[in-house]
Amino acid sequence: MTGFVSSRWLIVIIGFFVLSLTFSIRSTIGLVMPVWSAEMEWSRSFISTGGAICLVVMALIAPFAGNAVDRFGARKLIVGGMLIIALATVLIAIMKTQWLFLIAYSAIAGVGFGVVAMHVIVTTISPLFDKNRGLATGVATAGATAGQLLIVPLFAVMLGSYNWRDSYMFLAIICVLVAILCWRLLPKKFGVAVVQTKNEQDKPSLSEQLRWLVKKPIFHALFWSFTLCGFTTAGVIETHLLPYIVACGYPPLTSAVAYGALSAFNMVGMIIAGYLSDRVNRVYLLVGIYLLRAASFVVLMYIVDDYALLVIFSVAFGLFDYSTVPVTASLIASHLGMRIMGLTLGVLAMGHAFGAAVGAYMGGYLFDIFARYQEVWIASVILAALAAFMVMGIKDRESINVPAMVNS
């Protein structure tokens, strides 16, 4: 029993570091954007377009990656995804043309990021736990922000000491080493795939599973709220927060420190939310997260000339940023079943990514119209509150009868 417990938490630790690495590699584009603009005379709009295409590819691949982990387990998927990311970083390291950047980052890396993603890691870990499922998923997914505090600064130091090509080649080597480590440490088949129906012909098709999902009211509550979650987090905050802080008169260093504090408390918030999802009413918890996120946007509107409010916002939003993930995943496990958890989370991840894309675009669009961000934050308050309203009707610990097609 002790050995099983140890192996379960080892998988959690692996998930933490895998997400740290992949999310950090995604973030490096912001660091090298000025370098590429100066060295290769690429416009920032072109590089940003490449990043947006990457998000779309991730969104499109997410449901298929989720379905794959449901059917075949996570070992081959995670290892294959890490090798795909390694290939992409090698191509980035040697690229000299715009078309190769689009192939390497937007297409190939987009596939890898869509495979080695939060929903795959959550689906991998959730079936291994019963009592502490929320805590385990919270710890593992906290890696998504931990890398922003560890790996991204290391990459920045390497950019200063060497050059961006060597730095990306170094990341490629790390990805290959992590892939080998995952191949050696992860069991051949574990989690949902272990308990899948023995008769392959009894397994429902992807279209059958999707039709089953869209008939469930709880799926729509979680999907549309998570789409709005993407708008209010990865969309407007990750894209427009730093420009807004600078526009408020704060120096770049202060802006970076505030964003670093947000990332640190983001990690703390995910772990706390995961811990609480095992112990309190999860619907109340999720509603509270969305409402407090809405309140944090109100604080953000008044940070001009008030550094204390900037600090309060950074801490508060960090706590209520990605903390929706472990709670949402826990509700999916209990209300829609484990057998299609990967697919369900993958579809939600797709909605989150599209919501983020709309948020990033609308933030710039509204700023161009009004020459300020006030309308962006007001819209975010309304949408975060609307997300809370959407999940308010879910009944926690609901007893459901999942059709044999999905959960037998």
Q: Which residue has the higher pLDDT, 212 or 365?
A: 212
236-247 and 341-370 helices, crossing angle to 10°: 30
Structural domain ending residue among the three candidates 173, 195, 217: 195
Task: Specify whether 50 is located in the same domain as 183.
Answer: yes
Q: Considering only 113-127, 162-176, 233-247, which range has the smallest mean pLDDT?
A: 233-247
Task: Specify whether 41 is located in the same domain as 189.
Answer: yes
Q: How many whole angstroms separate alpha carbon 93 and alpha carbon 101?
A: 10
- Residue 331: helix, strand or coil by DSSP? helix
Over residues 80-107, mean pLDDT: 96
Q: Which residue has the higher pLDDT, 137 or 33?
A: 137
The percentage of the chain sitting over the pLDDT mark of 70, rounded to a whole number, equals 92
Task: Specify whether 260 is located in the same domain as 156.
Answer: no
Structural domain ending residue among the three candidates 164, 195, 226: 195
Q: pLDDT tens digits for 360-392?
A: 888 888 888 888 899 999 999 999 999 999 999
Give the domain CATH number at 220. Answer: 1.20.1250.20
Look at residue 358 and tell me if it is in a domain.
yes
Q: How far apart are the first and last CA of the chain?
A: 26
Task: Specify whether 62 is located in the same domain as 175.
Answer: yes
Backbone angles phi, psi at 358, to 5 degrees: -65, -40
Look at residue 179 and tell me if it is in a domain.
yes
Q: pLDDT tens digits for 250-288?
A: 886 787 778 788 888 999 999 999 999 999 999 999 999
Look at residue 408 and tell me if it is in a domain.
no
Structural domain ending residue among the three candidates 195, 229, 248: 195
pLDDT above 70 for 191: no
Among 375, 379, 373, CA closest to 245: 373
pLDDT of 328 reads 95
Domain that holds residue 301: 204-393
Task: Specify whether 78 is located in the same domain as 161.
Answer: yes
Q: How many CB atoms lie within 10 A of CB 307?
A: 11
| pTM of the predicted protein model | 0.83
Q: How many whole angstroms separate alpha carbon 244 and alpha carbon 372?
A: 8
Q: pLDDT tens digits for 340-353?
A: 899 999 999 999 98
Over residues 134-146, mean pLDDT: 89
Task: Specify whether 80 is located in the same domain as 220.
Answer: no
Provide the domain count of the chain: 2
- Predicted confidence band at 37 (pLDDT cuts at 50, 70, 90)? confident
Look at residue 44 and tell me if it is in a domain.
yes
Q: How many whole angstroms separate alpha carbon 370 and alpha carbon 283?
A: 37
